[in-house]
Amino acid sequence: MIGQLWMVGEHTQAINLGRTVLEDHERLLGADDEDTIDAAAGLALAYGGQRRHDEAIALNTKVVTWREEHLGDTHPETLNARNILANNYLESSNDYGLPDRASTAVALHEHNLGEYLRVLGETHRGTPYSWRSLCMAYAAAGRHHDAAALLEILAAALDRNPNQPRFQRLFTDSVLAETYWSLGRRDDALSLLDRTTAQMVSELGSTHPFTL
């Protein structure tokens, strides 16, 4: 229900409902119950979507801690929760101009990608997302060369894994084109962007969200 309210633009209602659900779960089930943690994650997502980063970070820190303690550091739900928390830090850095938060995002994403690759491998569906998230954190921290190098490695990994959805490769190329542009490699950026856009239109259609 919270997600449905959010999708139709009822953001305030989504947050209010999320608060009520979390309070009810804490009162009836206790703060350490898994359903309570899931409710906290839902409310944190609503906060993050409204750029209320500090509230999202506070809740998602609890979510990550709980999942680490109860599911393990490398459980897929733990990895996903840590990705979300890292992105909260990254978005708050972008919005507030706080470089220390970009550094925190980088550290969280580096740890997460290492665990994805070590435990789940580069063919897992969540690995490319974690990979790109780290690249974006590098870019936010001003480490554009590191971002470009890692994106090129990701592109090669996706080429080795044909079972990955095609949009993963195309989206990676579009992010890489932006990174080239930030590095002043304008010809490389424009060439890659033109090729990627043409492939998106051909393979996904002109109205696909990634094409738009």
Q: What is the pLDDT of residues 69-84, one digit of tens each?
A: 999 999 999 999 999 9
**Would 179 be classed as within a structural domain?**
yes
**Would 47 be classed as within a structural domain?**
no
**What band does 211 get if pLDDT is binned at 50, 70 and 90?**
low
**Would 143 be classed as within a structural domain?**
yes
What CATH code is carried by the domain that includes residue 148?
Answer: 1.25.40.10
How far lies 208's CA from each of 7, 75, 130, 158, 178, in Å? 18, 32, 22, 21, 20
Quick one: pLDDT at residue 167? 85
Question: Two tokens at 110?
Answer: 């580096």
**What band does 121 get if pLDDT is binned at 50, 70 and 90?**
very high
205, 176: one domain: yes
The whole-angstrom separation of Cα 201 and Cα 179 is 22
**Would 105 be classed as within a structural domain?**
yes
**Start-to-end CA span in the chain (Å):** 28
Look at 42-46, 89-93, 159-163, 192-196 and tell me which has the smallest mean pLDDT: 159-163
Quick one: pLDDT at residue 11? 75
Last residue of a domain, one of 130, 154, 178: 154
**Would 177 be classed as within a structural domain?**
yes
The whole-angstrom separation of Cα 129 and Cα 160 is 16
| 62-119 tens-digit pLDDT | 999 999 999 999 999 999 999 999 999 999 998 988 889 999 999 999 999 999 999 9
Phi first, then psi: what are they for 48, rounded to 5°? -60, -40
How far lies 98's CA from each of 57, 120, 135, 195, 205, in Å? 14, 32, 18, 35, 38
**Would 58 be classed as within a structural domain?**
no
Q: Give how many domains the chain has, as a whole number.
A: 2
Mean of pLDDT values over 36-40:
96
On the question of pLDDT at 199 being above 90, the answer is no
- 31-34 long-range CB contacts below 8 Å, 24 or more apart? 32/66, 34/66, 34/70
**Would 61 be classed as within a structural domain?**
no
Three-state DSSP state, 106? helix
Quick one: pLDDT at residue 3? 64
Quick one: pLDDT at residue 7? 65
Mean of pLDDT values over 6-23:
82
On the question of pLDDT at 203 being above 80, the answer is no
Average pLDDT score, the chain: 91
| Domain boundaries, position 142 | 74-154
- Let me know how long the chain is: 212
150, 169: one domain: no
24 Cβ partners below 8 Å, 6+ apart? none
% of the chain surpassing 90 pLDDT: 70
The whole-angstrom separation of Cα 51 and Cα 108 is 20
**Would 90 be classed as within a structural domain?**
yes
